[in-house]
Chains A and B, each alone.
Chain A
Amino acid sequence: MVFDEIFDVIVIGGGHAGCEAASAAARLGANTALLTLNLDLIGQMSCNPAIGGIGKGHLVREMDALGGIMGRVIDRTGIQFRLLNRSRGPAVQAPRAQADRTLYRVEMRRTLEATPNLSLRQGLVTDLLVNGNRIVGVELQDARRLAAQAVIVATGTFLNGKIHTGRKTYAGGRTGEPASTELPQSLRRLGFPVGRLKTGTPPRLDGRTIDWDAFEPQPPDKDPVPFSFSTDQIEQDQLNCFLAYTNESLHNKIRDNLHESPLYSGAIQGIGPRYCPSIEDKVVKFPEKTRHQLFVEPEGFNTNEVYLNGLSTSLPAQLQQEIVNLIPGMDDAQIIRPGYAIEYDFVDPRELTPFLETARIKGLFLAGQINGTTGYEEAGCQGLIAGINAGLLTTGREPFRIHREESYIGVLIDDLITQGVDEPYRMFTSRSEHRLSLRHDNADERLGPKGRELGLIGDSEWERFSQRRDRLAKVRRLLASKKIRRTDPAFAHLREVTGQELGDSINLGQLALRPNITVSEITKLLAEDEKLHLQPRDFETALADCLYAGYLESQDQTSRRLRQHDALAIPETLAFKAVGSLSHEMVERLERVKPRNFGDARKIPGLTPAALSNLLVYLTAQQFRPLNS
């Protein structure tokens, strides 16, 4: 085969997965090309201009600790930072930021252009070139052929994308951009099982036509918490967002016009995310709610465009306009881009290995929405892992696996490849069995050394990491060694605050577990010289360790007890009928999922404890059979 250009790694798609993938592969030393339909739209946020949130913010921090780029880019382009769940424990707090949509995109392209070994190319991929079961390159619409040992498909919603507004439908990958129709055929030809998912987006408004006084402002944090461990503080100005509400007359308008919605007319077949419902869904499924909350979000510093978060809809554009005008304060608001729903192809992620390589085609990786996920953060972290592994593969190194015990990224990948998806997959902290240990603030300790080992953490960041590690060690020692005694003047006050007996003396770490003890309460107990080099973020991290130490054991012990046989492998060839003592229904459930080990089987909904114990016994016996034959 004759090729126009030869690369080690080709990344198809310049969205959030593609950017991370290309950056990681290139920095691992692979000669990498990022192919996109439009070079001006690299790093485009197709939906809400925001990064982070509970679970998602954790993912960004983990990516950053491993050497990803999303955290740094948002830190430079965020217009409103907030740490969510401040009133709760540190394990469930997470940063979130509104982005300046344009600046984010520009900064992402700048970051990629500054990356050695990385070439940007504009073009539409029409075919995957395969030799036997190994990828060898891609073919473009303009007949160019590019060679690569590894190809990462990160095409988002573009595969057979179909946009709906009202009864009108048309092909498109995103509003204003064409869909990719030939690449999905190529994937089907290679034998990949392909399904349909759906997502949606709300209308964008002209900010000059909104009466801002009608809405309650939602101010940014005074002390914004950055996403990247390498960011000291957020430099740029911060803006307000605003809260708005729908009302009954708006709901009635929607109810009267449901037949116009492709969701309810049957035009949309794909399954949408339950946690990101359209306003039509909200009104229909929760008729008792008299109002739904909306967020009025500026799109950036240099634009009047406003994002009406919470009003995702696929109603006809004219109807969207009428509905928006029913919100008090938006009586004269003008829609400048209507909302829409989009259906797209995804590949069953059970086709993937933990390295995000397909088991079917060597060197072919899939990342992002193509694997059935939703969200920039979910896409980005898959891009990072796929990029790392493509880079490792093409530079002749062992693949990198990230585990669910150590990261949300690991949870996401494990869930995808073992359970598949039946709706767009989003991260929640409850998806992890180790929620208390997977905190956003300790992502660096969990994953930093791995990022360094991979070669994605540069010398200056590693120096930062080492310094923080040393400081943390010091703070932890202080918390363990410093005791408050009965004779201490603060003792009586602490007893009163906690409402508990504290014994004759208590160290700061134990004190942190007691009721009503806040970080500031503990800080007050430190001597001036102890406070001298204390950085608040280190202190919070060390205190969080104390807070959860006791529960980690309880959480882990139970999980360990329940999961002690999880690693037991299930042979691919096993016919579950052969297990015996399994009801027809249980066999069917097992056959459908085809679990790879006992742990996967345990997660199958509807499998009874008895069925599992039968399977366990059978697998145990199987393990020893080869010894005897």
Chain B
Amino acid sequence: MSSTGDSIVALSTPPGRGGIGVIRVSGPDSLSALRRMTGDNSETEPQPNYMNLRAVVDPLNGETLDQALVCYFKAPHSFTGEDVVEFHCHGSPVLLRRIVDALLRLDVRLASPGEFSLRAVLNGRLQLTQAEAIRDLIDAQTDVAAQQATRQLSGEISHRLQPAKAQLLKMIVRLESSLEFVEDDLPQLEQSEIENRLAELRTDLRSLADTFVRGRLLHDGLKVAIVGRPNAGKSSLFNRLLGYERTIVTEVPGTTRDTISEAIGWDGIPITLIDTAGMRTTNDQVESLGVERTHRAAADADLLVVVVDGSQPLTDEDGSVLRNANGKRHVVAINKSDLPSFSSSEVAEKVSSGDAMSAVSVSALTEAGLTDLRAAMLKPFVNGNGATEGLMITNARHHDLLLRAIDALASSEALIRERASEEIILVGLHNALKFLGQVTGETTTEEILGQIFSTFCIGK
């Protein structure tokens, strides 16, 4: 076996922050993925086994995501025995996620646990390894698979998908029986009815798939970085949000020289709150190191709380912090509302030109507005009533399968509108059922037939 068909991607370095992060792609589409991710339109094949510095771009919009060392390993001379490409990127989890997401939009799917090793074994690349080593590898995979099993068996997602799957099966049954039992006296099918039901089904799956981004954040925990110019009151706010004095607060700007993070839980959501050094240009070596770390923390965070001092006119430094926050999920905290000179209007005006989710007046001293700030911070991740949503997709493989099922349904809908014959419409429906089946368990032909015979009186 030289190739197993499709191409897979996964982060090959441990999750979390690191110096570098390696994303590995294996399968027949690896090379084309590499070309598209590096904007390489050349005719020649890149030289295998050589590292090259390349700008990694999002093929969707051409945005540069990272400068990375990329390497192409030509089949069969690779770890898996297939074409493999590796992206050695900067180690920011957020960045790595974006690159993996971009790859998933190409013809690549997320690898199942242990799938790279599995391919290597299947392609005979691990053949010469000692028996013990292989068994260790396999055992490790079994453990992961077993963990997955328990999670899936008791799986809420499987449970959540059952009605959708039943609905889909019902439509397959309708269409199949109209094909197979043409001589039987079956109820007529309304094209529009099927179309409507499919659209409903797709919307339902879409809403579940859409929980993925938030679901994944909730699952991994939210990283919230408090940023702002020096002495805007970040550390005071940090302490207030934590509920105790964690950092030293002084009147001297630039007191916080390093990022400090603390884990807390709000409404059951794990949150890592990060206090950062004030952002300014400085000649103090220690402080400038801290500022650099602040930039990194900000780049990694899922949410920024931009703190500005509402008792003073906005400075250039405030403006620069606010500008940098644009394009990221962020909330503006207008601090020092206890002071008589406080005014939120200037900030509000400034903020309205950016894309902050909200601006909240707060006093780190009196704690006024603190509840509002907390609510504003959680709002993008929770329902209106403050509780987390019933079920969210946290597993990237599930997300991937849902998206594939949605695509398959959409293709069937288009065919219904074109009045295509049932056997063609059914291709997409069966594919969707198979993708859902990868989450919930496969539906066999026998089950489909069984449902046909229990639904309709068929046969001469």
Asked if A and B are interacting partners, one says: yes
- Residues on the B chain within 8 Å of A605, using CB: 444, 446-447
Q: Are A581 and B122 in contact (CB under 8 A)?
A: no
Q: Are A621 and B138 in contact (CB under 8 A)?
A: yes
- Residues on the B chain within 8 Å of A554, using CB: 411, 427-428, 431
Knowing A54-B182, A88-B421, A609-B439 touch, does A274 contact B453 (C-beta < 8 A)? Answer: yes
Encoded as 1 (CB less than 8 Å from any B CB) or 0, chain A from 547 to 569 comes to 11001001101101110110000
Interface size class of B (residues with CB under 8 A): 35 or more
Encoded as 1 (CB less than 8 Å from any A CB) or 0, chain B from 110 to 126 comes to 00101000100110001
A458 to chain B, nearest CB (A): 34
* Other-chain residue from A53, A273, A562 in contact with B434 (beta carbon distance below 8 A): A562
Q: Are B145 and A610 in contact (CB under 8 A)?
A: yes
- Residues on the B chain within 8 Å of A310, using CB: 460
A1 to chain B, nearest CB (A): 44
Knowing A92-B179, A564-B5, A628-B130 touch, does A276 contact B459 (C-beta < 8 A)? Answer: yes
How far is B427's CA from A612's CA once the two chains are assembled, in angstroms?
24
Q: Are A293 and B185 in contact (CB under 8 A)?
A: yes
Q: Are B121 and A620 in contact (CB under 8 A)?
A: yes
A188 to chain B, nearest CB (A): 28
In the complex, whether A617 has a CB less than 8 A from a CB of chain B is: yes
* Other-chain residue from B126, B182, B435 in contact with A84 (beta carbon distance below 8 A): B182
How far is B182's CA from A72's CA once the two chains are assembled, in angstroms?
25
Knowing A430-B445, A617-B142 touch, does A558 contact B5 (C-beta < 8 A)? Answer: no
Knowing A275-B458, A293-B184, A613-B145 touch, does A558 contact B446 (C-beta < 8 A)? Answer: no
Across the interface, name the chain B residue whose C-beta is closest to A498. Answer: B418
Across the interface, name the chain B residue whose C-beta is closest to A586. Answer: B149
Encoded as 1 (CB less than 8 Å from any B CB) or 0, chain A from 97 to 127 comes to 0000000000000000000000000000000
Encoded as 1 (CB less than 8 Å from any A CB) or 0, chain B from 416 to 433 comes to 001111111001101100
Across the interface, name the chain B residue whose C-beta is closest to A312. Answer: B460
A581 to chain B, nearest CB (A): 4
From 509 to 559 in chain A, residues with beta carbon under 8 angstroms from any chain B beta carbon are 514-516, 547-548, 551, 554-555, 557-558
In the complex, whether A399 has a CB less than 8 A from a CB of chain B is: no
Encoded as 1 (CB less than 8 Å from any B CB) or 0, chain A from 283 to 313 comes to 0011001001101000000000000011010
How far is B179's CA from A430's CA once the two chains are assembled, in angstroms?
9
**Most central of B149, B150, B176, B435 by chain A CB within 10 Å:** B149
- Residues on the B chain within 8 Å of A54, using CB: 179-182
A165 to chain B, nearest CB (A): 19
Q: Are B6 and A561 in contact (CB under 8 A)?
A: yes
Q: Are B131 and A617 in contact (CB under 8 A)?
A: no
Knowing A560-B5, A602-B442 touch, does A85 contact B182 (C-beta < 8 A)? Answer: yes
A497 to chain B, nearest CB (A): 12
A535 to chain B, nearest CB (A): 23
In the complex, whether A380 has a CB less than 8 A from a CB of chain B is: no
Knowing A274-B453, A516-B419, A625-B131 touch, does A611 contact B149 (C-beta < 8 A)? Answer: yes
In the complex, whether B286 has a CB less than 8 A from a CB of chain A is: no
Q: Are A555 and B142 in contact (CB under 8 A)?
A: no
In the complex, whether B53 has a CB less than 8 A from a CB of chain A is: no
In the complex, whether B152 has a CB less than 8 A from a CB of chain A is: yes
In the complex, whether A38 has a CB less than 8 A from a CB of chain B is: no
In the complex, whether A234 has a CB less than 8 A from a CB of chain B is: no
- Residues on the B chain within 8 Å of A295, using CB: 183, 460
How far is B146's CA from A286's CA once the two chains are assembled, in angstroms?
44
- Residues on the B chain within 8 Å of A602, using CB: 442
Q: Are B138 and A555 in contact (CB under 8 A)?
A: no
In the complex, whether B153 has a CB less than 8 A from a CB of chain A is: yes
Across the interface, name the chain B residue whose C-beta is closest to A286. Answer: B457
In the complex, whether A282 has a CB less than 8 A from a CB of chain B is: yes
- Residues on the B chain within 8 Å of A548, using CB: 424
- Residues on the B chain within 8 Å of A547, using CB: 424
Q: Are B459 and A428 in contact (CB under 8 A)?
A: no
- Residues on the B chain within 8 Å of A430, using CB: 176, 179-180, 445, 448-449
Q: Are B180 and A614 in contact (CB under 8 A)?
A: no
Q: Are B457 and A292 in contact (CB under 8 A)?
A: yes
Q: Are A551 and B424 in contact (CB under 8 A)?
A: yes
- Residues on the A chain within 8 Å of B141, using CB: 617
- Residues on the B chain within 8 Å of A621, using CB: 121, 134-135, 138
A627 to chain B, nearest CB (A): 6
How far is B410's CA from A403's CA once the two chains are assembled, in angstroms?
32
How far is B145's CA from A611's CA once the two chains are assembled, in angstroms?
8
How far is B183's CA from A295's CA once the two chains are assembled, in angstroms?
10
Q: Are B185 and A292 in contact (CB under 8 A)?
A: yes
Q: Are B427 and A428 in contact (CB under 8 A)?
A: no
Across the interface, name the chain B residue whose C-beta is closest to A86. Answer: B182
Across the interface, name the chain B residue whose C-beta is closest to A579. Answer: B142
Q: Are A88 and B423 in contact (CB under 8 A)?
A: yes
Q: Are B118 and A617 in contact (CB under 8 A)?
A: yes
In the complex, whether B15 has a CB less than 8 A from a CB of chain A is: no
In the complex, whether A431 has a CB less than 8 A from a CB of chain B is: yes
Q: Are B127 and A624 in contact (CB under 8 A)?
A: yes
How far is B421's CA from A92's CA once the two chains are assembled, in angstroms?
9
Q: Are A429 and B138 in contact (CB under 8 A)?
A: no
* Other-chain residue from B442, B449, B457 in contact with A428 (beta carbon distance below 8 A): B449
In the complex, whether B211 has a CB less than 8 A from a CB of chain A is: no
Encoded as 1 (CB less than 8 Å from any B CB) or 0, chain A from 595 to 629 comes to 00000001101111111011011101101110111
B411 to chain A, nearest CB (A): 8
* Other-chain residue from B112, B122, B131, B459 in contact with A277 (beta carbon distance below 8 A): B459
B287 to chain A, nearest CB (A): 52
In the complex, whether B438 has a CB less than 8 A from a CB of chain A is: yes
In the complex, whether B441 has a CB less than 8 A from a CB of chain A is: yes
Q: Are A48 and B460 in contact (CB under 8 A)?
A: yes
- Residues on the A chain within 8 Å of B444, using CB: 603, 605
In the complex, whether B13 has a CB less than 8 A from a CB of chain A is: no
In the complex, whether A55 has a CB less than 8 A from a CB of chain B is: yes
- Residues on the B chain within 8 Å of A560, using CB: 5
How far is B411's CA from A629's CA once the two chains are assembled, in angstroms?
51
A149 to chain B, nearest CB (A): 37
Across the interface, name the chain A residue whose C-beta is closest to B128. Answer: A627
Q: Are B146 and A581 in contact (CB under 8 A)?
A: yes
B1 to chain A, nearest CB (A): 9
From 388 to 443 in chain B, residues with beta carbon under 8 angstroms from any chain A beta carbon are 411, 418-424, 427-428, 430-431, 434-435, 437-439, 441-442
Across the interface, name the chain A residue whose C-beta is closest to B455. Answer: A286
In the complex, whether B203 has a CB less than 8 A from a CB of chain A is: no
* Other-chain residue from B112, B411, B424, B457 in contact with A282 (beta carbon distance below 8 A): B457
- Residues on the A chain within 8 Å of B182, using CB: 54, 84-85
How far is B423's CA from A436's CA once the two chains are assembled, in angstroms?
7
Q: Are B419 and A89 in contact (CB under 8 A)?
A: no
Q: Are A436 and B427 in contact (CB under 8 A)?
A: yes
In the complex, whether A580 has a CB less than 8 A from a CB of chain B is: yes
In the complex, whether A435 has a CB less than 8 A from a CB of chain B is: yes
Knowing A89-B424, A275-B458, A282-B457 touch, does A613 contact B112 (C-beta < 8 A)? Answer: yes
In the complex, whether B64 has a CB less than 8 A from a CB of chain A is: no
How far is B457's CA from A292's CA once the two chains are assembled, in angstroms?
8
Q: Are B457 and A564 in contact (CB under 8 A)?
A: no
**Most central of A89, A295, A430, A608 by chain B CB within 10 Å:** A430
Across the interface, name the chain B residue whose C-beta is closest to A85. Answer: B182
Across the interface, name the chain B residue whose C-beta is closest to A608. Answer: B441
Q: Are A273 and B459 in contact (CB under 8 A)?
A: yes
Further 11 A-B residue pairs, CB within 8 A, beyond A54-B180, A602-B442, A628-B130? A85-B182, A92-B421, A276-B460, A429-B179, A429-B423, A562-B438, A564-B4, A580-B142, A583-B153, A610-B150, A614-B142
11 CB contacts below 8 A, A to B, read A89-B421, A275-B458, A430-B448, A436-B423, A564-B5, A581-B149, A602-B442, A605-B444, A610-B146, A618-B142, A624-B126
Pick the 7 closest A-B CB pairs, nearest first.
A610-B149, A628-B131, A89-B421, A581-B146, A274-B453, A293-B185, A621-B138
